[in-house]
Amino acid sequence: MRRGKEIAQGSHASMAWMAEMLRDANLRDKFEPSCVLLSSEQKEWLRGAFTKICVQVNSEEELRQVHENAQRSGLISHLIIDNGATEFNGVKTPTCCAIGPHQSEKFEGITTHLKLY
């Protein structure tokens, strides 16, 4: 992927959990920001520095495995799939995933083996 595409995909991933929370709240009868139910970890992340750690995988298979391992461990994980409109020759392609927000110790064994990007 081009560098700009990587940044855009990471941006999509970094807010996927919040977008899902807002969509779910909006499906209720009357949407109000107070309807968004956040966990203590999510509130802590929003009150803090919005920490993000970027790591890299070597293949689509490894990306999917990290995502699945996170979900099996009970972590919030969103796999971002690009529509292929500007790259990937029109083929929908997994590009990245975002895990969390969670406290750092919950990533042990999920992403700790991956190289920083």
Two tokens, residue 4: 């700009």
Report residue 14: phi and psi, to 5°. -65, -25
Q: What is the mean pLDDT of residues 68-91?
A: 96
Helix ranges restricted to H, 1-117: 3-14, 16-26, 40-47, 60-72
The full set of domain ranges for the chain reads: 3-116
How confident is the model over 83-117, as pLDDT tens digits?
999 999 999 999 999 999 999 999 999 999 999 99
Domain 3-116 has CATH 3.40.1490.10: yes
- The helix/strand/coil state of 29 is coil
Question: What interhelical angle do 3-14 and 16-26 show, nearest 10?
Answer: 40
The number of beta carbons lying within 10 Å of the beta carbon of residue 93 is 16
Digit-coded pLDDT (tens) for 21-54: 888 777 766 656 667 788 899 999 989 988 899 9
Backbone angles phi, psi at 62, to 5 degrees: -65, -40
Find the length of the chain. 117
SS3 content of the chain, % helix, strand, coil (to 5): 45, 15, 40
